[in-house]
Chains A and B, each alone.
Chain A
Amino acid sequence: MKKILILIGAALLLTVGTVQAKTLRLALDADPKTIDIQEQLSGGMLQFSHWVFDPLVRWSQEMTFEPRLATSWKRIDDLTMRFYLRKGVTFHSGNPFTAKDVVFTIKRFRMSADFKGLFEPFEDPIIIDDYTVDFKTKKPYPLMLNMITYVFPLDSKFYSGLDAQGKAKDAVVKVGYSFAKNNVSGTGAFKMVHREHGVKMIMERFENYWDKKSPGNVTELVLTPIKSGATRLAALLSGDIDFITPVEPQDFGRIRNNSGVTLFTYTGGRIITVQMNQKRSKPLTNQKVRQAIVYAVNNVGIEKKIMKGTATPAGQMSPKGYQGYKEVLQPRYNLKKAKQLMKEAGYANGFTATMIAPNNRYINDEKIAETFAGMLSKIKIKVNLKTMPKAQYWDEFDRQPADFQMIGWHSDTEDSGNFYEFLSMCPNKETGYGQYNSGNYCNKKVDQLTMAAQTETNVKKRVKMLQQIEQIMYDDAAYVPFHWQNHSYAARKGVNVGAIINTMNFPYIGDLVID
């Protein structure tokens, strides 16, 4: 009997022993600006949100909705959707997760300059019971679920009341102290244990994490920001780091030639374009001139030579998988046709134009702008290009000092409509539409269709509208499309990154398996 007990005891010890501590050392180009996930809306903040918090639903690799803290949902009427919440979820603080936390989260969005616009279509949600909540919109809203991916429930008990300084714990503060900037409690796979802003962040796997089915086996996540791309790669190659993102295109070859590390890329939805200002430049009001410019741009060549195959050449704004994507709208490089169009427009001898572009905002933005200028010289358009750092760029962009202005856009709803609302609709200071349309392209039909699509819940009809918009802009040559940027990652062998990356660039590290 004793022997058997000892054997059982030994077996137990062995199984405990096999649960090894697995540390993932991750290097990004910058660490999150804050740990208050509602303070700033940015890609980096959302990545962090997916590690320390969980959304109600999230995007899968196939761009479908995956239940997370909401287990299921159903439409009640045109304006309402009911969400059933997961039971038995606890926050890092130990508080249980209920419908109250969801309502708290939506209400706090309204205090954040970055998020309030995004949640403008929503009414405050209504609690049906502890685990059921109704989301209501002001108008019929086809993108309800897309927006729900932004809802990372906050620990309402943890973030309510006053802190030691007598300040409200739920305050959203951009500059200066706030409770939420220094304390965090989410439901996510990782719990913050140490943070030295700009230097290091250490997160440990949350022992009471609700998702027992997750294959993830990372027990400790160490995030180090490494700003310089060359150093980031060197840290990976030297074995100081396990996983890096982003990777600079010029380094792809090096990684591919190294057997110890693997490169991963994933198509992203950020379209890079150049807008042609029809208010500033007379030739650009001529549709033929704009078409000639689009025909003169060899964006397939740019993708190959400058982006080293890490982008998808574009003929439209919507990437594949979006409702507005129309298969036939492909890149249309044809120099002969471009010259012909310039002649027809009466500009056979070309003209002079100015251009501005950022030099540290998009991947290889400066090189793309230079190449664009070079390509236009083939149809005798002389482009005076000025590039500047992003810190200065956006104020300049708004002032519209140049005929050509570069802008990249990622739709925060993962839906085509967002592109048109910001980049293509007639600029209107009152409604805010066309806020980043520095080309001043204005087509009433596009405006009308974009607005109609906002409230169209019939998917078939909506697809038709959005595709029609793409077609109109294609024919009008409303802007110059380049490509959709890819996301790039590199990891040492044994870190199975392929399964956890997606088009949103939110690596779900909670589900990451390390051999």
Chain B
Amino acid sequence: MFAFTIRRIIQAILVMLVISFIGFAVQYSIGDPVRDMVGIRVSAAEREALREKLGLNDSFWIQYSRFVRNATRGDLGTSYFYSKPALQVILQKAPATLELVFVTAMIIVLVSLPVGIYTAINPKKLFSKITMGISTVGVSFPVFLTAIGLIYLFAVELHWLPSYGRGATVNIGGWETGFLTKDGLLHLILPSIALSSIMLPLFIRLIRAEMMEVLETEYIKYAWAKGLSRRRVWLLHAFKNTLLPVVTVFGVEIGILFAFTILTETVFQWQGMGFMFYEAVERSDTALLVAYLVVIGVIFVLINTLVDILYGLINPMVRIAGTK
């Protein structure tokens, strides 16, 4: 396990280096941060002075090595818009995104598993056909349209749910959570449904397809022949074997979910990292952008590590390299 951990840490550092390098290389094609910092009348000379002061006139290598040096001390630069350390800004916004992604992942798991299994076992039932029909449409429906539709139906027309934001939050040791108040939970409903609408159809279809394939295999036929109970055949023999590819895809897709938070959070004015990223692009807050990319890189590495560990639990035949 020790070697495994070390290897993962080295991997994370490499990922951060590569991402920050790419981020640095492309940042100025996003726009000039100084332009956004000053009013339009400010003269070119004034802007130049500001650029000089911020060190934006130094060569790429000087800037990048300065960034890496500071990063080793935990300083990922200062956000031009927030005027605060970029890492601090991101960590402040992270709980909102993590909670949203967590609830979304829960919705996906809790809905796609039973529905996927049911539709695989009963492909001819009406419910299965309707579900498959909806999921075909759902896969191709853009998330911001889903989001706006949900807002208009549940907030504007029915007045059941709030239209934007996180609502009342409770601060626990620096973590702003919306889980502990009724208002916070109500605010979570629409964004998490909107966000899960992207992946849910995909997972239902994936689980169904995998499960149907497994149900055709020899060992399932053998299990039937043995006269095992239906429940045992479906849930133990068949389902467990469909899980491995599903977990693989889940690991990758959770990462992609972070990318989709950008749109969802913007529509719901959800104060998370995705919305922060969107605004940072608009304001060419390049310092914040690079820091965000690095943090997201770390999250990806973490998720992949978790998936690898899960593998071993599901299928003892898969051994994590480096463990005994």
Contact = CB atoms under 8 A, between A and B. Distances in A.
Contact of A234 (B78, B155, B283): B155
Contact of B41 (A33, A176, A224, A422): A422
A234 B164 contact: yes
Contact of A391 (B36, B38, B40): B36
B37 interface: yes
B155 A392 contact: no
Mostly helix, strand, loop or mixed at chain A's interface?
loop
Given A42-B39, A173-B83, A231 B164 contact: yes
B271 A235 contact: no
A7 interface: no
Interface string A450-474: 0000000000000000000000000
Interface in A82-132: 113-114, 116-118
B300 interface: no
Interface stretch (B42-50, B201-209, B219-227, B310-318): B42-50
A392 B37 contact: no
B152 interface: yes
B84 to A, nearest CB: 8
Nearest to B150: A234
Interface in B257-286: 266-269, 271, 275-276, 278-279, 281-284
A376 B37 CA distance: 36
A228 B283 CA distance: 15
B163 interface: yes
A282 B35 CA distance: 31
B159 A226 contact: no
Contacts of A175: 37, 54, 78, 80, 83
A177 B156 contact: no
Given A175-B37, A237-B156, A226 B164 contact: yes
A114 B41 CA distance: 7
Contacts of A114: 38-39, 41-42
A40 B31 contact: no
Contacts of B178: none
A228 B281 contact: no
Contacts of B32: 391-392, 394-395
Contact of B269 (A197, A231, A360): A231
A332 to B, nearest CB: 29
B166 to A, nearest CB: 8
A40 B81 CA distance: 11
B82 interface: yes
B95 interface: no
B164 A240 contact: yes
A239 B159 contact: yes
A79 interface: no
B63 to A, nearest CB: 15
Interface in A373-420: 389-392, 394-395, 398, 412
A391 B282 contact: yes
25 contacts: A173-B83, A174-B38, A175-B78, A198-B82, A198-B271, A198-B279, A224-B164, A225-B269, A227-B269, A228-B269, A231-B148, A231-B151, A231-B163, A231-B164, A235-B163, A238-B159, A238-B163, A240-B155, A240-B163, A392-B30, A392-B31, A395-B35, A422-B41, A432-B43, A435-B43
Given A34-B83, A40-B38, 17 more contacts: A41-B38, A114-B39, A114-B41, A117-B41, A175-B54, A175-B83, A177-B83, A197-B82, A225-B269, A227-B275, A227-B278, A228-B267, A230-B148, A237-B156, A238-B159, A240-B162, A389-B282
Interface of A: 33-34, 40-42, 113-114, 116-118, 173-178, 181, 197-199, 224-228, 230-231, 234-235, 237-240, 360, 389-392, 394-395, 398, 412, 422, 432, 435-436
